[in-house]
Amino acid sequence: MSERDSELRHVATFCGQCNCGCPELFLADGAPAEREVVITDDFGQRIEMSRDQLAVLVADVKSGVLDKVLAPAG
């Protein structure tokens, strides 16, 4: 874990069925409000957002906005 990650509090791992570096959700304690939610991916990239932005994302997922992305093509 790098020094930059030392303030991250783990919330969830998405997948967790392998050892490939699954995406994870963290809260960055002490970060500015607009950057306190951190999502990392298995390629070493990260997204930083506010809790309000995360709430919109979660609401959209729950309402089915992304369902068509997961549906098989056809």
- pLDDT category at 6 given cuts 50, 70, 90 is low
Query: 48 pLDDT exceeds 90?
Result: yes
* Alpha-helical regions (H) of the chain: 51-63, 67-70
- pLDDT category at 74 given cuts 50, 70, 90 is low
- Strands of the chain (E only): list them: 8-13, 24-28, 37-40, 46-49
pTM of the model: 0.80
Query: 69 pLDDT exceeds 90?
Result: no
φ, ψ of residue 25 in degrees (nearest 5): -115, 130
Find where tokens 């930059």 sit: 4
Q: What integer pLDDT is reported at residue 1 of this predicted model?
A: 41
Of 48, 31, 30, whose CA–CA distance to 39 is shortest?
A: 48
Question: How many angstroms from the chain centroid is the CA of residue 31?
Answer: 16
pLDDT of 8-42, one tens digit each? Answer: 999 999 886 777 778 999 999 999 999 999 999 98
